[in-house]
Amino acid sequence: MKRLPTVFMVIGLVVMVFAGSENNVLANADNSKRDNKVLSIAHRGAAGYAPENTMAAFEKAFEMKAEMLELDVQMSKDGELVVMHDTTVDRTTDGAGKVKNLTYDELKRLDAGSYFSKEFAGEKIPKLEEVLDEYRGKMGIVIEMKSPSLYPGIEQKIADTLKERNLDTPTNNDIIVQSFDHESLKAFHSILPEVPVAVLLDFNPDGVSDQQLTEFSSFAKYVNPNKTMIDKKLVERIHKYGMETYPWDVRERESVKALIKAGVDGVITIYPDYVGKHQKKE
């Protein structure tokens, strides 16, 4: 008789361990938990700690509990969607040349890790679909269409890739498509209106006009400016127009604090661990 409680305790402990590890796996993607939280969005993955736009950088972001990762998408010569920031491979790989002039087989042979450190030698340029398949349901994914005018049809290709995975449904903030090219964003929006899009803005000394915000709000759910443009007033105006904002290129803890104080909804940073747990301002 005395053994019975011990057996139950052991079973209870095993159940708790398994339940705990499952929560852990899903934690970053749990919308109920992130609902009012200022989101940590890993810029090109956790690119402060690992080579940008590689699986190593995305895995680091996941380990650091980032709610979302941001990545850049372009197209290879043979039409594959590849994750790469620059329009040439020169800076971040051991190869040379334009992404659009190299086939996927040529791109995948390149070392995309050694430029960052020897520890990451052999990291590959991932395909968009590999990242989606690995991280969907674990973290949200912000897909930036990088220089889409170089890649006619890239909007449709990204839309097809999402549709094939049933990632074209509304919601949950799991997938966002962003770009500095607003015409391309509009094209994507008309193909897949259920997937939210984000307007990227580079620094502009003139700020953002009401006319621009009105226009953006006709197709976008987010306005993501360079962090130097953000102040409380701009955040309030973006909110007033029914959109949210995830400023980017955040590299210092002080900047993160200032942005959170200004009321932003998320922070796109190469150091996702700097964001911490903060409730959004009402």
Sites of contact with ligand G3P (CB under 6 A): 43, 70, 72, 85, 144, 200, 224, 248, 268
Query: Which entry of ligand G3P, Ca ion, none binds 268, CB below 5 to 8 A by partner kind?
Result: ligand G3P
* Site stretch for Ca ion (CB under 5 A), options 6-14, 105-113, 143-151, 163-171: 143-151
Q: For ligand G3P, which is the closer residue by CB, 91 or 118?
A: 91
Residues 152-211 contacting Ca ion, CB under 5 A: none
The kind and range of the H/E element at 273 are none
The answer to whether 93 and 166 are in contact (CB under 8 A) is no
- Min dist CB 268 to ligand G3P, Å, is 4
Pairing of strands 140-145, 175-179: parallel
Does 189 participate in catalysis according to the annotation?
no
Nearest distance in Å: CB 148, ligand G3P: 12
User: Residue 160 — φ and ψ, nearest 5°?
Assistant: -65, -40
Does 144 sit near Ca ion (CB under 5 A)?
yes
CB of 206 to ligand G3P, least distance (A): 19
Catalytic option among 43, 182, 189, 239: 43
DSSP string, 142-177: EEEE-SGGGSTTHHHHHHHHHHHTT--S--SS-EEE
Task: List the single partner that 56 binds among ligand G3P, Ca ion, none, CB under 5 to 8 Å by kind.
Answer: none
- Give SS3 for 215: helix
Does position 123 interact with Ca ion (CB under 5 A)? The reply is no
Amino acid identity at 81: L
List the single partner that 155 binds among Ca ion, ligand G3P, none, CB under 5 to 8 Å by kind. none
CB nearer ligand G3P, residue 12 or residue 67: 67
Contact 259, 247 (CB under 8 A): yes
Nearer to ligand G3P, 5 or 42 (CB): 42
Using CB atoms within 10 A of its CB, is residue 61 exposed (0-12), middle (13-18) or buried (19+)? Answer: buried
Considering the complex, state which of residue 132 and residue 142 has its C-beta at the smaller distance from ligand G3P. 142
How far apart, in whole angstroms, are the C-alpha atoms of residue 263 and residue 282? 8
Report d(CA 223, CA 233) in Å as an integer. 14
Q: Please report whether residue 72 would count as binding Ca ion according to CB under 5 A.
A: yes
CB of 145 closer than 8 Å to CB of 177: yes
Stretch that binds Ca ion, among 70-78, 155-163, 180-188, 235-243 (CB under 5 A): 70-78
197-201 and 222-225 strand pairing:
parallel
The residue among 121 and 180 lying less far from ligand G3P, judged by its C-beta, is 180
The CB-of-258 to Ca ion minimum distance in angstroms stands at 21
The residue type found at 172 is N
Is 85 catalytic? The answer is yes
Q: How distant is the alpha carbon of residue 137 from its chain centre? A: 13
Q: How far is the CB of 22 from ligand G3P (least distance, A)?
A: 30
Residues at the contact surface with Ca ion, assessed by CB under 5 A? 72, 144
